[in-house]
Structure 1
């Protein structure tokens, strides 16, 4: 089952497909750090399948360099990650590189979703033109060019909820018409990551298309009962952190629990990486403390205009009043987005004894990335990649279904 991943990001969608036995022919990703993360993850899968995974762990512990890691696997695996923006100018070169990787093999599926800012409700609310002139609105046309060239039996297209309303449904309707025009019957559904074991309220539009004229209906995906809690089941075994503290290697403080075992969060080793958090100034720490107290003791969210005047630095007290948000310890987290790379105000750790925003590893766990997943490029780049990703557990549910269809 060969696939190509377009707009691949850090590989959350791909991870779910690889777990289900799919074989990546190529990943196309414009961001350098995310492309490096993909190479490192492909190195993990190769070494894991070859019973040489200890080499990967040596890299995580900084015992060998990244070049040494990458050089220890076949060159064609590293070069299957194409670090390029998909544009009119670059598309032919990308095709050439994929053709080389493909050889005589056929492509069974194309997966991926173009950058979502152009369709996102937040993006539109912040843009005076409501993103109407944004070239990213039409990246789906490039996606369609890959379908025309490689003729996969199926495709999976992921995007934000805003796609359903952007341009008064204009983009969604245009997409479905274009897919039909090039020979694919497609259907879409809004999936909620919580139904697939992810401890996060995250809803996304998924379009699945099948080659041929026969009407395609979105298949039923297998869901699971998700009664687990963020603090008890997801965070409990990670060491306490101070703001600005970096644990590049973090030893677990508790045994593996039922959730971590069922969802393969922990991987049989006694440590994880990138348990690092950002530094906060005194003002923010005081605000975090108020927000934590309100949420843990009264189940109330902090509204910006309720803060004492001395703590308010924004003049705007009418809009974006929920600038500070504590992750719910007894339920599931709110949606992790790429803005987490700018500041941690929206992702405050739910504990009065640890007043800080969540760490890179905690954000990765909320997105259901396994603990041996390493994000290249440093803390800010890691947060951005995690916020933009498709949760691997939701991706895996899609892969299970696609495997049955194939």
Structure 2
């Protein structure tokens, strides 16, 4: 996506600027506004100069002193020297007509005035009794009957007109952030610091507060033990752009300067100071990193997301490896295993996988394989009972005539009966004296006499990491399905989407992240995540990550902006443990045809260059760029593999046809000339549809409207032409079906529509029927093939799929676009290395991903 509306960060020194909670009107700052404009995922509010502000509502006179009876507010002590004050707050001392010379971190509008200062102070006395000092935390008067606001005092000054003011840098309660009405996920005393600042009359101060600053890398149970007596505690910085939550920066600059935050470099816990050496957006790791990042791909499908992440990581210099993958689709699991034989692929539900992980940890604990013991009483009881029974019988053999089956070996483990789906731990065993066809799944409760066999299996599995334990996984990625938000679901629960079983996988995904505690998490989903029910599920996902003490940010990315001839808008949410850098979103590399709709409150989370930014993007890709080199095939093509019949025609085709090693820059050896093209076959249309397709002209924009008997009205809707007799097929069914005429009330041109060479596709879908979508080949009488769809999703040609034709279309349509995942993997690799610059966005190297010297590329970007 080339650009979006230009936005600003917040202004540190404008009496006109005030900022409210992200995506809501709650938590407004004292200068409540009547005028609102979007900024990233927040609503920025500025006081209308033609209206009376809240400061006036408080009966504050022009000298900044309250006219309420008994009020007595003043600055105390000597003012800060002019030289020091001008150096620290230069904009306060510029001539009034001049604009600020530097851009600040707070929200401001271009036309706002900077309050001029006569003197700056470090202390103030409110109501003749309370002394406030610079950098104190305080409550600020809120709206009548509402909660007070929370701020840090970062500046105290007397204006040239004699008014007394302070500059507030605001804290947010959870409900005042993008999390909104899901604030109950967060402990009530936890607040989030911001970079938003504005000026307020001195009399707005209500009371001093004690806000404890804590390191983020302490879980809440442990944190409760070290939180000193305080009004609130703060361990996270909330930044409006891309709804970002990050750990507090530890480097301190002078409070109130317009280009810095004012958080202390030391974190006070129980009166002690702990220096946090991992600095917000300038983190450079001092810890030794493992050479391999182990990845778990949840809801993996055929593995597109993890494939792209691994490729991008390798290109950045980080070795990301998919060690585990989980999906319910059997055919997708086979595809992933075929292309990633090194991956432990599990065909099961995510819920059962989580239950299995918990039971596996209990077994490892029972057999003393892990140091962190977890309760495993059921296994103690199970195996001890069997040992006691053996002791009672004196070890005598069973003299019953019934045949005794002896377990030879334990082969596998799963949660739930594979046939009846009963809960519980099941082991696949081979029986002594029987062949492999007699292997069976048995509940562990029935194998109490096989303790040694089970111990051997668990010990071997523990060593080989057949299942991950907490701490084993470095990256969790996945796109939990949320069918409950689909527009096709007439019974969507808009009041509480999480009560809909079809949305429960989002909860399961977060539960798995919570259990495994990876270094990084990346979640993908459709844009409805932030559109449906006021973005409830997107807010929930962010809230859960923040609840788990993860740093997080949300971005919306268009696949076409990374070198594909389709638009395909998707939501991505990063999570990073406190010990890591929060990955950035890679900026677009290609121009793209804009489509779709994003809610205004999340519109500025779109990953794009700001409007007016001078950037040279590569040209948008078209259908011809992706598929013009592929062999001609018929509607009834049966071959899964065939030879290419022409060389690549475009740069895109040259890259997509590379071998795996050459694509990663590992080898310059060209792909073998006799390499085969996989999955280039289309869904075979039935006789009626095939006859319809053959009648569609081979021209741009052709569709069912070009068939005889259809007339297009001036309002672009269709109707039957009364002058033309209706045409019927050999089967007796009409050439133009009724559903085509009535689709979208007769206003759609998608039924039986041909794509054209100079077009882009809105999004690759899972169903290949031409009844209600444009999916027909420009020049051949068929729908796009599996491989053509895979090309539109960025799958390399070497990636082979498994299963029936319809199942392969589903795998491709459900996949994350590989170039998007590759670009995200590159950002992940840089974050893991600590090579991240300031800000939520990152510019990929030129001509990415065609990078040959990965190390030098990373170094040059860092130097830049």
TM-score bucket (shorter structure):
0.7 to 0.9
CA offset digits 1:248-295 (Å, max 9, x no partner): 222112112342455333432432022112222454345435655563
CA–CA separation in structure 1 for the residues paired with 2:489 and 2:700: 28
1:332 aligns with 2:630: no
- Matched with 1:202 is 568
Equivalent residues of 1:197, 1:263 under 8 A apart? no
1:349 aligns with 2:754: no
Structure 2: gaps (5+ residues)? 1-292, 315-319, 361-412, 414-460, 591-617, 660-670, 708-715, 727-733, 833-864
Equivalent residues of 1:265, 1:365 under 8 A apart? no
* Normalised TM-score (structure 2): 0.39
Q: Check 1:130–1:357 CA distance in 2 against 1; reply closer, same or farther (3 A cut).
A: farther
Which structure exhibits the higher relative contact order, with contacts defined as CA atoms closer than 8 Å and separated by 6 or more residues? 1
* Normalised TM-score (structure 1): 0.79
Alignment of 1:154-169 (within 5 A): 154-169=520-535
1:128 aligns with 2:491: yes
Alignment of 1:184-263 (within 5 A): 184-212=550-578, 218-221=584-587, 223-224=589-590, 225-231=618-624, 233-260=625-652, 263=655
CA offset digits 1:11-35 (Å, max 9, x no partner): 1101112223311121011111111
Determine helix, strand or coil for the equivalent of 2:521: strand
Determine helix, strand or coil for the equivalent of 2:539: helix
Q: Check 1:213–1:127 CA distance in 2 against 1; reply closer, same or farther (3 A cut).
A: farther
Structure 1: gaps (5+ residues)? 44-76
Q: Check 1:317–1:104 CA distance in 2 against 1; reply closer, same or farther (3 A cut).
A: closer
Equivalent residues of 2:549, 2:577 under 8 A apart? yes
1:264 aligns with 2:643: no
Deviation at 1:222, TM superposition (A): 5.6
Q: Check 1:137–1:107 CA distance in 2 against 1; reply closer, same or farther (3 A cut).
A: same
Determine helix, strand or coil for the equivalent of 2:509: helix
Q: Which moved more, 1:181-190 or 1:265-274?
A: 265-274
1:38 aligns with 2:431: no
Equivalent residues of 1:110, 1:152 under 8 A apart? yes
- Matched with 2:475 is 109
Deviation at 1:130, TM superposition (A): 5.7
Equivalent residues of 1:112, 1:158 under 8 A apart? yes
Q: Check 1:209–1:361 CA distance in 2 against 1; reply closer, same or farther (3 A cut).
A: same
CA offset digits 1:61-90 (Å, max 9, x no partner): xxxxxxxxxxxxxxxx36x10111112x54
Give the superposed CA RMSD.
Answer: 3.2
Q: Check 1:94–1:35 CA distance in 2 against 1; reply closer, same or farther (3 A cut).
A: farther
CA–CA separation in structure 2 for the residues paired with 1:117 and 1:301: 35
CA–CA separation in structure 2 for the residues paired with 1:170 and 1:249: 45
Q: Check 1:240–1:261 CA distance in 2 against 1; reply closer, same or farther (3 A cut).
A: closer
Deviation at 1:134, TM superposition (A): 3.3
CA–CA separation in structure 1 for the residues paired with 2:585 and 2:684: 45
Aligned length in residues: 364
CA offset digits 1:216-270 (Å, max 9, x no partner): 6843446242433312x22222211121222322211211234245533343243
Deviation at 1:350, TM superposition (A): 3.5
CA–CA separation in structure 1 for the residues paired with 2:642 and 2:814: 24
CA offset digits 1:71-111 (Å, max 9, x no partner): xxxxxx36x10111112x54221453797334797422111
2:810 corresponds, among 374, 384, 389, to 384
- Matched with 1:5 is 297
Q: Which moved more, 1:32-41 or 1:141-150?
A: 141-150
- Matched with 1:66 is none
Alignment of 1:306-325 (within 5 A): 310=734, 311-314=736-739, 317=742, 319=744, 321=748, 322-325=750-753
CA–CA separation in structure 2 for the residues paired with 1:280 and 1:345: 14
Equivalent residues of 2:627, 2:788 under 8 A apart? yes
- Matched with 1:183 is 549
Q: Which moved more, 1:359-368 or 1:322-331?
A: 322-331
- The structure where strand makes up a greater share of residues is 2
Determine helix, strand or coil for the equivalent of 1:118: helix
Equivalent residues of 1:29, 1:84 under 8 A apart? yes
- Matched with 1:49 is none
Deviation at 1:146, TM superposition (A): 2.1
